[in-house]
A and B are shown apart, each in its own frame.
Chain A
Amino acid sequence: MSVRCALLGLLAQRPRHGYELHAAFEALVGGAENWDVSPAQVYSTLARLKEAGLVREEGLEQEGGPEKVIHAITPAGRRELEAWFSTPVRAEHQRDEFFVKLMLCLATGEVDPMTVIYAQRASLYQELHAVTTQRARADPRSELAHILLLDQAAMHLEADLRWLDMVEARLDEVRRQPLPEPQPRPRGRPRRAR
Chain B
Amino acid sequence: MAIVETKELTKVYGRGDAAVTALRKVDLRVEPGEFVAVMGPSGCGKSTLLHLVGGLDRPTSGRVALNGQDLSELSDDALTRLRRREIGFVFQFYNLIPVLKAAENVALPLVLDGVSPRKAQSQAQLWLERVGLSDRTDHRPDELSGGQQQRVAIARALASEPALILADEPTGNLDSRAGDEIATLLRRVVDEWKRTVLMVTHDPRIAAYADRIIFLKDGTVVDEARLVGGNDGAEKLVRQRMEDL
The docked-state distance in angstroms from the alpha carbon of A152 to that of B234 is 12
Contacting residue for B240 out of A92, A133, A154, A158, CB 8 A: A92
| Tally of contact residues, A, Cβ under 8 A | 30
Can you name the residue of chain A whose Cβ is closest to the Cβ of B210?
Answer: A129
Contacting residue for A128 out of B205, B231, B235, CB 8 A: B205
**With A121-B223, A122-B225, A154-B205: A136-B184 Cβ-Cβ less than 8 Å:** yes
| Tally of contact residues, B, Cβ under 8 A | 30
Are B233 and A126 closer than 8 Å at their CB atoms? Answer: yes
**Quick check: is A118 within 8 A (CB to CB) of the other chain?**
yes
The docked-state distance in angstroms from the alpha carbon of A153 to that of B213 is 20
**Quick check: is B227 within 8 A (CB to CB) of the other chain?**
yes
Can you name the residue of chain B whose Cβ is closest to the Cβ of A91?
Answer: B237
**With A154-B205, A169-B41: A131-B234 Cβ-Cβ less than 8 Å:** yes
- Give the chain B neighbours of A92 by CB distance below 8 A: 240
How does the 8 Å CB contact mask read for A145-169 relative to B, with 1 for contact and 0 for none? 0100110111001100110010001
Are A149 and B241 closer than 8 Å at their CB atoms? Answer: yes
The docked-state distance in angstroms from the alpha carbon of A162 to that of B203 is 9
- Give the chain B neighbours of A125 by CB distance below 8 A: 204, 207-208, 213, 225, 227
Are A132 and B231 closer than 8 Å at their CB atoms? Answer: no
The docked-state distance in angstroms from the alpha carbon of A150 to that of B241 is 9
Can you name the residue of chain A whose Cβ is closest to the Cβ of B226?
Answer: A122
Can you name the residue of chain A whose Cβ is closest to the Cβ of B232?
Answer: A130
The docked-state distance in angstroms from the alpha carbon of A129 to that of B227 is 7
**Quick check: is B238 within 8 A (CB to CB) of the other chain?**
yes
Are B231 and A122 closer than 8 Å at their CB atoms? Answer: no
How does the 8 Å CB contact mask read for B50-78 relative to A, with 1 for contact and 0 for none? 00000000000000000000000000000
Interface set, chain A 91-145, CB cutoff 8 A to B: 91-92, 114, 118, 121-122, 125-134, 136-137
Can you name the residue of chain B whose Cβ is closest to the Cβ of A136?
Answer: B184
The docked-state distance in angstroms from the alpha carbon of A91 to that of B226 is 18
Are B223 and A133 closer than 8 Å at their CB atoms? Answer: no
- Give the chain A neighbours of B234 by CB distance below 8 A: 127, 130-131, 133-134, 150, 153
**Quick check: is B229 within 8 A (CB to CB) of the other chain?**
yes
- Give the chain A neighbours of B235 by CB distance below 8 A: 134
- Give the chain B neighbours of A137 by CB distance below 8 A: 231
The docked-state distance in angstroms from the alpha carbon of A128 to that of B206 is 10
**Quick check: is B151 within 8 A (CB to CB) of the other chain?**
no
Contacting residue for A133 out of B204, B226, B229, CB 8 A: B229
20 residue pairs bridging A and B, Cβ less than 8 Å apart: A118-B215, A118-B222, A121-B215, A121-B223, A125-B213, A126-B225, A126-B233, A129-B208, A129-B228, A130-B230, A130-B231, A130-B232, A133-B234, A149-B238, A153-B234, A153-B237, A154-B208, A158-B204, A165-B41, A169-B41
Binding site for A on B (CB under 8 A): 41, 183-184, 187, 204-205, 207-210, 213, 215, 222-223, 225-235, 237-238, 240-242
